[in-house]
Structure 1
Amino acid sequence: MSDTTETIEKITSLSDYINKVEKLQLNQESEPNQLNSKKHMNIYYRGQNQDFSNTLPSLVRNENYLKNENKLINDFITKYPELFGDCQNNFDRLALMQHHQLPTRLLDLTSNPLVALYFAVEQSNGSTNKDTDLTDGKIFPFTNFYNPVLLQQSLADDHFENILSEFTPIRANNRQFLKSPFSDEIEIESSLARLNGEDRNSVLSQLSQFYKDLSKVDKNASAYWGNLYADIVNGRGKKRNKGNLLNSYKQFNKYSSTKRLYHEIKKDIGDFEDQINPLELFVPKIVAPRIIDQRIKNQRGLFMFVPFVDKYGFTEERSMELLDSEEIQKRTQTRINILRLLSSSKDHRPVTFVIPCCKKKSIRAELERMGITESFIYPDPSHIAHEISKYY
């Protein structure tokens, strides 16, 4: 996302940042009509110490990683099985892998804006050749309510604009995007990451076909699937079946790849019913992990579960086309941006804080005086030792 489509707030000092964050939060609280809800909007922050052109997780930025997502996961578990003894589900395993810097589709966030600022001005360590003090840092605020403009843009990539109406009922439901690590939706997507590439691509292809079928049913801004899915979940005998959509959903559940996904899920959730709401898999989620160590506690860490993007898309003529890695990254970024925080209800541009490289050193010193130090962010012996050595 280029600067021309963002509202840029330049940060020159710690006090400047605190004032701008406070102003941003007050603006959101004073605009209840933006949410059409009395529910509280949470703000989450991602700090990056380099001026990357995107906020993609490393897994998505690397075509080879993405192709071998399940192998990365399984190889790590095979080599370090003792690490996962306390894990309760596939999301726990992904979170622990992310914690140990394995590329995953989780994006690190924090609910503490000062922690995000630390990451944005953090100096590169000896393991990298890049001097991050020569590039600007950035902070991207996210929220648990979606940006309708960017959701529509993401749907338009595959010409699924009609199904935007299906998301309208959840506009004021922050639970749609803020999830527990034990929720069925997160278990489904975490398990999908563990399927082999062929099965995962097959599931994603069938999901795309379902969206295509749904877009034929949802016309004139009418939402149909939500009511049909409620019929399915509640076991109603006579179910509506406009446009043969019920049969399309049943067909999705019959595929062998979908059955293997259900099998993977049931390894963690034995009584899981073979039912998935395909719309859930389209959007990103904010997930608060279990507090497994002091580092996550200090960092007030959360994750965004970045949604899967099918390697095939639809043209305007509704025929399928193979997407290159650049297009997959672009569409994934648009999905991530669905939860970017807007400047205001009148300005649909997302907010980005930019820390000029010349201000990084002074802001690090200010943060240190406030107790936001290397040993606070990384409370382990090696980082504490490194911090101590800097004083002598």
Structure 2
Amino acid sequence: MDKIIITSLQEYIKYISESTHNDFYFRGESNYFHDRISSGLRNIECFDFGQAEKHRVPFFNYIKEYYMEVGNRLNEIDRKNFICFSQHHGIPTNLLDISRDPLVALYFACQDVNKSTSGYIYMFKKDNVLDITQYLPEYNMYDNSEFILELCRLEKEKLINTIQLFKSFFKQRKKLFEKLFLSLIEDRKHLFKGLQGYDENILNMFEDFLNDEEKDTESIINIIESLQKTLNTDIFKIVFEEEEDYFITIYVLLFIDYFKSIVEFGEPVFRINFLPNFKYEPISSFQRIKHQKGLFFYQSYLNYKEPVYEVDGYSIQRISYDIELEIRNKGEILKSLDKIGINRKTIFDDFDNIAKYIVESLKDK
């Protein structure tokens, strides 16, 4: 993937105008980081997991304590979307801030101007993002509930819902499904130290499917039944409308088996590469989010116990982007942004940041 270098506001506006920016979400970062990692999942190995009374996912301790302090003061919207409320007020969570506004992303990419480093903007195709907003408020967000575990529930109704979720999403996204399906096979290959018997058969069948070759429907159904037995679940008789539905079902069953194996055997897996980016956009009472045209990616994760040293491990979803921009000359770009009304005062619009903006502005005069 080519890296595009931007050195001025004019260059940036020209590039964004030519790239149909309405098709993308944006995230600005003031330095280079190898992965996009939410605040609650950064440096997770630095936490002390030896204390049994602590929650096994460290940032939930913060959220739980914060709720105990402020929960009785919240309105129904903030209580229902408490993980968003926590993120807004500085509690580490597994939410990653993104924006619809490319100029907001540019502002954040240009922070830390005293460091001789570039900023970066990551662009994400909206069409490749799965909206899970309606699912998250159903779960107790200040208690032990991980979205991946919800996706892996084997009860009949839960499994049907998971398959339907991905079926609806992938129906018009064949290229994305191909990419993520093959990533899942590759990740299973690394986890199991080679292709399992049915993985190899599935891969061959999937290649036939991609090449529009004649399908062996009976063999595909046999694969689904074998996966059911592996997962010890009596799935159901699905009415398949199209051949693509078979492979979406196989995709779901394969990733459930994959996550189940990680938890059972504690095999270290650091990144989850085969899930689409998940969007979380709750109703918000925060003016700051509205000013920043903000929303979130929900970064899923899986906690497991490493068997040799008996320490907690974490598999974290990789947030994949479509375009990367390197932002140079950050100081001058910030000045240009200020001239068109993009600055600390308008981005945050609270008393503290308005005061800081006034002090910074007058200091430079």
Same fold (TM over 0.5): yes
Give the count of matched residue pairs: 265
What is the 5 A alignment of 1:337-348? 337=320, 340-341=321-322
Deviations 1:197-256 (A, max 9, x none): xxx699489779x99899659454459xxxxxxxxxxxxxxxx9712617837489xxxx
The 8 Å contact of residues 97 and 104 in structure 1, kept in 2 or not, is answered as yes
Which whole-Å CA distance do the structure 2 matches of 1:9 and 1:75 have between them? 43
2:287 matches 1:294? yes
Counterpart in 1 of 2:38? 57
Matches within 5 A, 1:1-392: 6-25=1-20, 42-63=23-44, 64=47, 67-87=57-77, 90=80, 92-123=81-112, 132-146=114-128, 177-179=130-132, 181=133, 183-184=134-135, 186-187=136-137, 191=140, 194-195=143-144, 203=149, 218=202, 220-221=204-205, 242-243=225-226, 245=228, 248=231, 250=233, 282-311=275-304, 328=314, 332=316, 335-337=318-320, 340-341=321-322, 351-356=323-328, 359-392=329-362
The sequence identity of aligned pairs, in percent, is 22
Alignment partners' CA distance in 1, 2:95 and 2:148: 22
Per the alignment, do residues 18 and 54 of structure 1 end up closer, same or farther by CA in structure 2, a change over 3 Å counting? same
* Cα pair 1:205 1:312 within 8 Å, conserved: no
Q: TM-score, normalised by structure 2?
A: 0.60
Q: Secondary structure at the match of 1:54?
A: coil
Q: Which amino acid aligns with 1:121?
A: C
How far off is 1:193 after superposition?
A: 6.8
Aligned equivalents of 2:104 and 2:6: distance in 1? 15
Larger Rg: 2
**Counterpart code for 1:7:** D
Shift of 1:389: 2.3
* CA distance in structure 2 between the partners assigned to 1:323 and 1:85 by the alignment: 41
Q: Distance in 1 between matches of 2:60 and 2:311?
A: 20
Greater mean alpha carbon deviation, residues 289-298 or residues 104-113: 289-298
Aligned-partner SS, 1:87: helix
The 2-side partners of 1:214 and 1:83 are apart by 56
Mark the runs of 5 or more structure 1 residues left unpaired by the alignment: 1-5, 27-40, 124-130, 147-173, 224-239, 253-276, 314-319, 342-350
Query: Partner amino acid for 1:15?
Result: Q
CA distance in 1, matches of 2:8, 2:38: 28
Aligned amino acid, residue 360 of structure 1:
K
The 1:381/1:192 distance shift into structure 2, 3 A limit, reads closer
2:218 aligns with none
CA shift for structure 1 position 136: 1.3
**Is there any run of 5+ residues in structure 2 with no aligned partner, and where?**
49-55, 160-183, 189-195, 208-222, 236-251, 260-274
Call closer, same or farther: CA 1:323–1:62 in 2, change over 3 Å.
Answer: farther
Letter in 2 for 1:84: L
Distance 1:78 1:133, change over 3 A: same
AA matched with 2:359: S
Computed over aligned residues only, the root mean square deviation of the Cα atoms, in angstroms, reads 4.1
C-alpha distance in structure 2 between counterparts of 1:42 and 1:194, whole Å? 35
